[in-house]
């Protein structure tokens, strides 16, 4: 539905409040130029209770007249037609039936905040050089959010949710109303005022009270009245919203910008408005529980904000500490995982890689070799006459020789070469991107280093040599695979053993399959 259709639905729902007969008739007759004081007096006098209320306010500190006003005729003569009309309208709205609901929209709170807006507007008028009628500003400010009341009655339950989402701040309510209902309370309130036949000086401040600069008319005094109503609404939100500090900051800035109010004037209004609201409530027969002053409200809000910030800071410190602890635990876990992975892949005696890891690694390297088109060499190593060392010196001596040999060989190879224990005293060396000539050179370097090394432990010296079998994987040979590569290296090692040990043999298909290349 468009805005006009929503408005018609609201009007048809019976949500529009009804003015008293006296108030309705008073608006009508005061709109005529020929209306006399006698007609106004006679109209108000029809309602004895209303007359008594008007005289009570006229004789209160709300006006602070030096002499007692004894009759409505005298009140009209002293105050003027507009002021009396404003009083009657104020009483008419404040005496509307206040519905009670267990939850949701709080009608009593609504009228308390409306009265606070009206009192704040009157205080603002007193700080500005203007011909604006303070009673008229009081009345329009009292009714400025009447659209909220109408929407609450038209959309019960649904509108309560919007109020909760707005966080008790009327500035945020407009956008929510437009989004969810297709209409906002400022527009609804202004259309209701027109329906009650209010003059434009009362209608337009209701329409523009959230955005005073949207008023594009050329009436300077009306523009100023709209600004006053806007600022008064900000003050009421300091008293009744959940965000008093935000509204206080906004009011101080806007009061200086829109009305050129001094800092002392702003401070004075904020200090006195709560007491003035309490007095006005008494004048108009409203019961308001003790409301703290705005300085007290702001002080409490600042304390709560400080405590909240402290909580956030503490929470942040705890989160940082938890994050650091988590990072420490994660690093420790990674270290332990690396250790566990390492010991799972390593031979427990020698510290070189185990047979399982060698098989997995060789698969990966062969795949990389095939993709890259470069050679890979495999060297099988066997310690010569190792059984004699175990039998003559004992297994501890044999274990020492195995560890010492592995430590020696690791020093001779590249970081990316893989040395692994194949089983018993047999070891295997994977040499990526290495051709036959380079592999033979590596194997010979290891053979020579082994033969020259001093294997001594606990006063004993062991003569240790090793035999080496080399095979080369050619990626262009489609019949070559991992098993054949290992078989060829093992066969070359067997040939080295058969031909005297302490030597290097390269597998080659020439001359019966073996070619002795290097010997001791």
Residues labelled catalytic: 425
User: CA 343, 347, 348 angle in degrees (round to 5)?
Assistant: 75
Contact between residue 419 and residue 443 where contact means Cβ atoms under 8 Å apart: no
- The span from the CA of 492 to the CA of 507, in Å, is 5
Contact between residue 51 and residue 45 where contact means Cβ atoms under 8 Å apart: yes
Q: DSSP string spanning 472-505? A: EE-TT-TT--HHHHHHHHHHHHHHHHHTTSS-EE
Beta-carbon neighbour count of residue 518 at 10 Å?
17
> Which residues make Cβ contacts (< 8 Å) with residue 22, sequence separation at least 6?
43, 44, 46, 47, 50, 88, 92
At residue 208, φ and ψ (nearest 5 deg) are: -105, 15
- The span from the CA of 220 to the CA of 16, in Å, is 31
> Which residues make Cβ contacts (< 8 Å) with residue 317, sequence separation at least 6?
none
Beta-carbon neighbour count of residue 213 at 10 Å?
11
CA proximity to 196, closest of 26, 24, 44, 31 = 24
Contact between residue 249 and residue 283 where contact means Cβ atoms under 8 Å apart: no
Q: How far is CA 194 from CA 19, 198, 202, 250, in A?
A: 13, 5, 9, 30
Sheet holding 514-518, edge to edge: 418-423, 426-432, 376-383, 466-473, 504-507, 514-518
> Which residues make Cβ contacts (< 8 Å) with residue 502, sequence separation at least 6?
384, 447, 451, 465, 466, 467, 520
CA proximity to 74, closest of 98, 33, 40, 106 = 40
- Using a 10 angstrom Cβ sphere, with 0-12 exposed, 13-18 middle and 19 or more buried, the burial of residue 338 is exposed
- The span from the CA of 450 to the CA of 334, in Å, is 37
- The span from the CA of 54 to the CA of 126, in Å, is 22
H-assigned helices in 155-293: 158-165, 170-181, 185-195, 200-208, 220-240, 244-259, 263-283
């Amino acid at each position: 539905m468009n805005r006009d259709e929503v408005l018609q639905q609201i009007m048809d729902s019976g949500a529009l409040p009804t003015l008293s007969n006296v108030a309705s008739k008073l608006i009508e007759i005061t709109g005529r130029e020929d209306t006399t004081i006698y007609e106004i007096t006679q109209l108000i006098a029809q309602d004895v209770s209303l007359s008594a209320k008007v005289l009570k306010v006229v004789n209160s500190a709300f006006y602070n007249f030096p002499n007692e006003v004894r009759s409505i005729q005298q009140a009209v003569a002293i105050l003027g037609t507009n002021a009396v009309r404003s009083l009657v309208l104020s009483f008419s709205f404040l005496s509307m039936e206040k519905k009670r609901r267990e939850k949701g929209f709080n009608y009593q709170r609504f009228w308390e905040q409306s009265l606070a807006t009206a009192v704040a507007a009157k205080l603002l008028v007193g700080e500005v050089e203007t011909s604006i009628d303070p009673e008229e500003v009081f009345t329009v400010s009292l009714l400025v959010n009447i659209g909220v009341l109408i929407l609450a009655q038209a959309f019960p339950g649904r509108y309560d949710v919007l109020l909760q989402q707005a966080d008790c701040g009327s500035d945020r309510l407009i956008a929510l109303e437009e989004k969810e209902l297709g209409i906002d309370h400022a527009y609804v309130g202004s259309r209701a005022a027109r329906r009650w036949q209010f003059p434009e000086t009362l209608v337009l401040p209701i329409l523009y009270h959230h955005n005073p600069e949207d008023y594009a008319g050329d009436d300077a005094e009306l523009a100023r009245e709209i600004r006053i109503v806007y600022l008064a609404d900000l003050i009421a939100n300091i008293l009744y919203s959940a965000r008093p500090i935000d509204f206080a900051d906004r009011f101080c800035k806007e009061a200086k910008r829109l009305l050129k109010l001094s800092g002392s004037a702003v401070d004075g209004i904020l200090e006195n408005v709560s007491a003035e609201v309490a007095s006005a409530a008494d004048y108009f027969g409203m019961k308001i529980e003790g409301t703290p002053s705005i300085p007290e409200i702001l002080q409490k809000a600042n304390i709560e904000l400080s405590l909240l910030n402290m909580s956030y800071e503490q929470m942040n410190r705890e989160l940082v500490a938890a994050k650091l602890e988590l990072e420490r635990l994660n690093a420790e876990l990674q270290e332990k995982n690396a250790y566990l992975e390492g010991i799972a892949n390593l031979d427990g005696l020698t510290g070189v890689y185990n047979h399982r890891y060698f098989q997995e690694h060789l698969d990966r390297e062969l795949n990389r070799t095939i993709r890259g088109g470069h050679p890979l060499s495999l060297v099988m190593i066997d310690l010569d006459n190792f059984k004699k060392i175990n039998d003559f010196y004992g297994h501890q001596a044999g274990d020492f020789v195995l560890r010492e040999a592995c430590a020696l060989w690791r020093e001779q190879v590249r970081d990316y070469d893989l040395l692994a224990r194949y089983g018993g005293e047999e070891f295997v060396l994977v040499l990526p991107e290495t051709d036959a000539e380079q592999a033979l050179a590596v194997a010979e370097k290891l053979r020579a280093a082994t033969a020259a090394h001093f294997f001594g432990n606990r006063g004993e010296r062991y003569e240790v040599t090793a035999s080496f079998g080399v095979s080369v994987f050619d990626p262009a040979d489609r019949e070559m695979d991992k098993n054949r590569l290992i078989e060829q290296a093992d066969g070359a090692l067997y040939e080295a053993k058969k031909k005297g040990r302490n030597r290097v043999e390269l597998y080659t298909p020439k001359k019966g399959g073996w070619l002795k290349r290097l010997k001791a």
